[in-house]
Amino acid sequence: MSSSMTEALSMLTGIQGFIAAAVVDSESGMILASEVRGDFAIEMAAAANTEVVKAKLQAMKGIGLGDDYIEDILITLGTRYHLIRPLKINPSIFIYLAVSGNGANLGMIRVTMKKAEGSIKSI
């Protein structure tokens, strides 16, 4: 794990309600770095969210938005938020974050994810 990935994940662990985070290669579904609190199947989540990213890219291409990019993807569940943020320096790599929905501030989470992304200088 690179020091910049460690720094990025460290930023995310400070988010209220943090459950898990990972830096994931969307071409293979492989986790490059991760942090988990408690019992959370981060490997399964990384693989499943790889498919989410691929499906969104395919849909964008199909409707003529292939020259645009994904800033982030938000999935809201009853008790949790899941966020996916592809890296601008390498869009095939994304940051995945799971947080508890109780008291979570989505605006602040998105700002923190953007800062975490910016801290990753190379893959």
Q: CA distances (Å), 97 to each of 58, 62, 71, in order?
A: 22, 27, 14
Q: Measured between alpha carbons, how far is 59 from 29 in angstroms, rounded to an integer?
A: 19
Taking only the tens place, the pLDDT of each residue in 60-103 is 999 999 889 999 999 999 999 999 999 999 989 999 999 998 88
Query: Which pair of structure tokens corresponds to residue 80?
Result: 């949790």
Taking only the tens place, the pLDDT of each residue in 14-58 is 999 999 999 999 999 899 999 999 999 999 999 999 999 999 989
